[in-house]
Structure 1
Amino acid sequence: LFVIGSMLATKPGKEIGIKVIDESSVEQLERWMDELDEQLPPLKNFILPGGHPAISACHLARCICRRAERRVVSLSHADQVDHLIIRYLNRLSDYLFILSRAVAQQLNVAERVWKPR
């Protein structure tokens, strides 16, 4: 997220002196998601966050990432934003969700299924 902040604070086309988010960054996240997802049972219901502090931390990070994504999308309506930033944030939040499920599985914590009232 610090790299994304640097990218957003720098005029397009100007060097920022650090490795920036690129297509390979998005592809790496997708590979990690696929690797984790292969080890998990198929998701058939909405699940609720919680059950262990580590699981909750993953969900909190995911929510913060989604908020950042929404703000960058809003910014993109008013200013020029590299579309890869939005894609990366979207994939990162998806990765954090899958990570929360993998952590639950590793800790042997049952997922809490959401039940409508």
Structure 2
Amino acid sequence: MPDVELNVSTASQEGHTVVTAVGELDLYTAPRLQAALAGLLREKVDRIVVDLSGVEFCDSTGMNVLLAAMKRLKEQGGSLELAAPRPAVKRILQVTGLDTVFTVTDAAPAMDAR
């Protein structure tokens, strides 16, 4: 099995939380993103932006993690947004029709440099 890595970090920014994923989001690495999102849901964060600009690949497991988090967040009255997906990830969103389910923005969230 190849050594595939996914790094996930979170940062609070102006009323929302940015979750940045870098690497490949698949069956083996999705639990890492799922754990980060579940932690934010427990904290009752109401707006999450998932920065996908560093995600090179995403399979159905990764999409399901994002979908489940969005559903739970909506149930809590919040929202989940996907930011800056690379062409390969954007294509998966389009092929599956999930580009109409998720709020997708082309720009990565601006992080405070302070």
Task: Answer 1 or 2: higher relative contact order, Cα 8 Å, separation at least 6.
Answer: 1
- Common fold, TM-score beyond 0.5? no
Q: Which has the higher strand share?
A: 2
TM-score category (smaller protein): 0.3 to 0.5
